[in-house]
Amino acid sequence: MSSFLPQSIRALIDEFSRLPGVGPKSAQRLVMHLLHAPDSRVQELSKAVGGLKAGLQFCSVCWNIAEEEKCQICLNAEMGLRQAKQICVVEEILDVVALEKTSEYKGVYHVLHGALSPVDGIGPEQLKIQALIERVKGFSDSDEVGAIDLEVILATNPGLEGESTALYVMKLLGPLNVNVTRIARGLPVGGDLDYADELTLTRALQGRAAYQ
């Protein structure tokens, strides 16, 4: 970074560069754009960033983002507006956004907040996997003896980490006698859900099969 630039500009470029998908060149362009923008625009952006986490929390049921104890999707399930016994397991909150855009899925979600990645030090303890198991066990306690009338859809990304995570979760769910499915291979290997178009996601949901 050019040392002749004022410290305030260099500091902001550095912060933008830390964001996912933003390289040094993109960060510089963003800062230059803000530098030429009206003061009111910069103040609005500053206010939005500063208040990003205000009044937000994670849903106590599915770990999606929420403004109250439970997210709107889980509240709708309680009112019978969505299928509470169909849980779609995803890696990130943006995956929920992507799947909701399809208007195909009418169940609920469980957000793991990542995928297993030993290289990055991410193990089961860093994810919401145990919360999922306890959630499924809750259905087991409330149902009659026999197969639980519950489907868990493993919708982790179709890359190495996503597949490893799906396999790990599937092994944990096995003894619970739950119907476990995996989204179909309509998604390219190595692709992320939030980058897929609505048609691809719809076909993936429709073509899901029992996970083995």
pLDDT of residue 141: 63
pLDDT in tens, 24-58: 899 999 999 999 999 999 999 999 988 888 888 99
Residue 143: pLDDT over 90: no
- By three-state DSSP, how is residue 93 classified? helix
Q: What percent of the chain has pLDDT over 70?
A: 88
Average pLDDT, the chain: 87
Which residues, 6 or more positions from 110, have their beta carbon under 8 angstroms from its beta carbon?
62, 63, 87, 88, 89, 90, 128, 131, 132, 135
In the block, tokens 């009338």 appear at 149
Please say whether the beta carbons of 82 and 102 come within 8 A.
no
Query: Mean pLDDT across the stretch 12-31?
Result: 91
Of the candidate ranges 32-36, 123-127, 158-162, the one whose mean pLDDT is the lowest: 158-162
Strands in 83-90's sheet, in edge-to-edge order, are 107-111, 83-90, 151-154, 179-182, 209-210
Tokens describing residue 156: 């982790």
pLDDT value at residue 145: 43
Of 37-41, 117-121, 137-141, 188-192, minimum mean pLDDT range: 188-192
Tokens of 87: 């849980």
pLDDT for position 197: 72
Using CB atoms within 10 Å of the CB of residue 76, give its burial: 0 to 12 exposed, 13 to 18 middle, 19+ buried.
middle
Cβ neighbors of 171 (< 8 A, separation 6 or more) are none
Q: Determine if the pTM surpasses 0.95.
A: no
Res 171: pLDDT: 94
**Options 3.50.50.60, 1.10.230.10, 3.40.1360.10, 3.10.310.10; CATH of 57-210:** 3.40.1360.10
Q: What pairs with residue 108 in β-bridges?
A: 87
Mean pLDDT in residue range 153-158: 92
7-50: CATH topology is Helicase, Ruva Protein; domain 3 (1.10.8)
Tokens (6 digits) for 210: 């029992």
Task: Give pLDDT tens digits for 194-203.
Answer: 777 776 777 6
C-alpha count within 13 angstroms, C-beta hemisphere, residue 189 = 3
Residue 90: pLDDT over 90: yes
Q: How confident is the model at residue 129 (pLDDT cuts 50, 70, 90)?
A: very high
Q: Where are the domains of the chain?
A: 7-50, 57-210
